[in-house]
Amino acid sequence: MNLLLQSIAKFLLGVIILGLLIFLPAGSFHYWQGWLLMGILFVPMFVAGLVMMAKNPELLRKRLNAKEQEKEQKTVVALSGVLFIATFVVAGLNWRFQWFVLPNWVVWVAAGVFLVCYALYAEVLRENTYLSRTIEVQEHQKVVDTGLYGIVRHPMYMATTILFLMMPLVLASPISFAIMLLYIPLIAKRIRNEEAVLEQGLEGYKEYKQRVKYKVLPFIW
């Protein structure tokens, strides 16, 4: 029951905060791209939460825990938060003042890519039950090297990075997209620290790195 209440509270808080960040700067609820983003973000999130609650509540508990122990990761999380706030606020202002609004076809293509990445994210959660939102080595944790983990070492970051880059495009804001590009060096910093922690504490991870060469994108990164 505590997990259920915590999940509902965080979900509703996320809906309220994102709504404020988007629609207050926009100055109107007629910003349909904002409603589109909230729909494709929160509806799958709600469904995924129900599935995890029913099939793997421990994984849901891990995903709700966002308190980083690593000092370096606390900095990355804080900077990422500022980046996301700036992205959404600027998108709302961009729509309000009609600075550079992307055409509708770009919005819908970005929404489609967003949903595909969401599906990949769900598959990663299915493959790796050790996935926590914080950088840590868990008790009895083993290296997962099947499925998407046989292609890149961090398929979750592959899915979420593309997903995050699609958000400002769904909001029709090329300015916000330029801001969100700053997320790439932040996630690169997070990955470097995470791999150092895993190499030190997770048996077999060094050998896994030798087998799977790419971190995030096959043949690119």
DSSP per-residue codes, 67-95: ---SHHHHHHHHHHHHHHHHHHHHHHHHH
Question: Mind listing the pLDDT tens digit of every residue in the chain (221 residues)?
Answer: 787 788 888 889 999 999 999 999 999 999 999 999 999 999 988 888 887 777 777 777 766 665 655 566 778 888 889 999 999 999 999 999 999 999 999 999 999 999 999 998 888 877 776 665 444 455 556 777 778 888 888 898 999 999 999 999 999 999 999 999 999 999 998 888 888 888 887 788 888 888 888 888 888 88
Q: SS3 for 34?
A: helix
Stated length of the chain = 221
Q: Is residue 220, in this structure, part of any structural domain at all?
A: no
Q: Is residue 194 part of a domain?
A: yes
Q: What is the pLDDT of residue 31?
A: 97
Determine, yes or no, domain membership for 216: no
- For residue 221, tell me if it sits in a domain: no
Where in the sequence is the domain holding 127, given as residue range(s)? 2-211
Domain assignment of residue 167, yes or no: yes
Is the entire prediction scored with pTM above 0.75?
A: yes
Among 125, 154, 141, 138, residue whose Cα is nearest residue 212? 154
In a domain, 123, yes or no: yes
- Does residue 218 sit within a domain? no
Give the Cα-Cα-Cα angle 105, 109, 112 (nearest 5 degrees): 145
What is the CATH classification number for the domain harbouring 196? Answer: 1.20.120.1630
Please give the Cα distance from 146 to 158 (Å, whole number).
16
Gap between the Cα atoms of 106 and 110, Å rounded: 6
Q: At what angle do helices 71-97 and 183-201 cross, to 10 degrees?
A: 160
Residue of 11, 193, 201, 179 whose CA lies nearest to 92: 179
141 is a domain residue: yes
Per the structure, the count of domains in the chain is 1
Predicted pLDDT at 198: 81
For 83, counting Cβ atoms within 10 Å of its Cβ (0-12 exposed, 13-18 middle, 19+ buried), the class is middle
